[in-house]
Chains A and B, each alone.
Chain A
Amino acid sequence: MELLQYALDNLGLLGTRTLEHISLVGVAVGIATLTGVPIGIAITQNERVARAVLYVASIIVTIPSVALFGVMIPILSLIGQGIGYLPAVIAVLLYSQLPIIRNTYTAIHNVDPALREAARGVGMSQRQRLRMVEIPLAVPVIMAGVRTAVVLNIGVMAIAAYIGAGGLGTFISRGISQSDPRQLILGAVAVSLLAIIADYALLALQKRLTPKGMAVSSATA
Chain B
Amino acid sequence: MIRLDNLTKVFDTPDGAVVAADHISMEVPRGEICVLLGPSGCGKTTTLKMINRIVRSTSGKVFLDGEDTSGLDTEALRRNIGYVIQQIGLFPNMTIEENITVVPKLLGWDKQRYKTRARELMDMIAMDAEAFLKRYPSELSGGQQQRIGVARALAADPPVMLMDEPFGAIDPINRAVIQDEFLKMQAELQKTIMFVSHDIDEAIKMGDRIAIFREGKLVQYSEPDELLSAPKNTFVESFLGEDRALKRLNLVRVRDVISDEIGTVVGNDTLTTARERIDAHGYRDAILLVDDRRRPIGVISRDTTGSHQGYCRDHMRGLPAVVNLGDDLRKVASLMFAHDTTWLPCVDDNGTLCGQITQRDMTHHLGSRYRARRSAADSEKPVGS
* B-contacting residues, A91-145, CB 8 Å: 112, 114-115, 117-125, 128, 132-133, 136-137
When C-beta atoms are compared, the residue in chain B nearest to A116 turns out to be B89
**Cα-based distance from A133 to B98 in the complex (angstroms):** 12
**Cα-based distance from A213 to B133 in the complex (angstroms):** 13
A122 near B85 with CB under 8 A, answer no
B93 near A133 with CB under 8 A, answer yes
When C-beta atoms are compared, the residue in chain A nearest to B162 turns out to be A121
Instruction: Count CB-based A-B contacts (< 8 Å).
Output: 71
State whether the Cβ of B75 lies closer than 8 Å to any Cβ in chain A. yes
**Cα-based distance from A117 to B87 in the complex (angstroms):** 10
Separation in Å of the B162 CB from the closest CB of chain A? 8
State whether the Cβ of B136 lies closer than 8 Å to any Cβ in chain A. yes
B54 near A120 with CB under 8 A, answer yes
Q: DSSP class of A's interface residues: helix, strand, loop or mixed?
A: helix
B85 near A118 with CB under 8 A, answer yes
**Cα-based distance from A128 to B139 in the complex (angstroms):** 25
B138 near A123 with CB under 8 A, answer no
State whether the Cβ of B94 lies closer than 8 Å to any Cβ in chain A. yes
Partner of B52, one of A121, A125, A212: A121
- Bitwise, B81-119 to A at CB < 8 A (1) or not (0) is 001010111111111000000110010000000000000
State whether the Cβ of B79 lies closer than 8 Å to any Cβ in chain A. yes
A115 near B75 with CB under 8 A, answer no
Q: Which residues in A have their C-beta under 8 angstroms from that of B106? A: 122-124, 128
Q: How large is the interface on B (under 10, 10 to 19, 20 to 34, 35 or more residues)?
A: 20 to 34
A114 near B102 with CB under 8 A, answer no
A213 near B138 with CB under 8 A, answer yes
State whether the Cβ of A215 lies closer than 8 Å to any Cβ in chain B. yes
**Cα-based distance from A123 to B76 in the complex (angstroms):** 7
Q: Which residues in B have their C-beta under 8 angstroms from that of A120? A: 54, 78
State whether the Cβ of B191 lies closer than 8 Å to any Cβ in chain A. no
Given contacts A117-B85, A212-B136, A213-B138, are A122 and B92 in contact (CB under 8 A)? no
Separation in Å of the A104 CB from the closest CB of chain B? 16
A114 near B93 with CB under 8 A, answer no
A122 near B78 with CB under 8 A, answer yes
A122 near B79 with CB under 8 A, answer yes
Separation in Å of the A126 CB from the closest CB of chain B? 10
Closest 5 CB pairs of A and B: A213-B136, A118-B89, A211-B93, A123-B79, A123-B78
List the interface of chain B (C-beta within 8 A of A). 52, 54, 75-80, 83, 85, 87-95, 102-103, 106, 136-139, 152
Q: 28 A–B contact pairs at CB < 8 A?
A: A114-B88, A117-B54, A118-B83, A118-B91, A120-B54, A120-B78, A121-B89, A122-B103, A122-B106, A123-B75, A123-B76, A123-B77, A123-B78, A123-B80, A123-B103, A124-B75, A128-B106, A132-B94, A211-B92, A211-B93, A212-B136, A213-B92, A213-B95, A213-B137, A213-B138, A214-B92, A214-B138, A215-B92
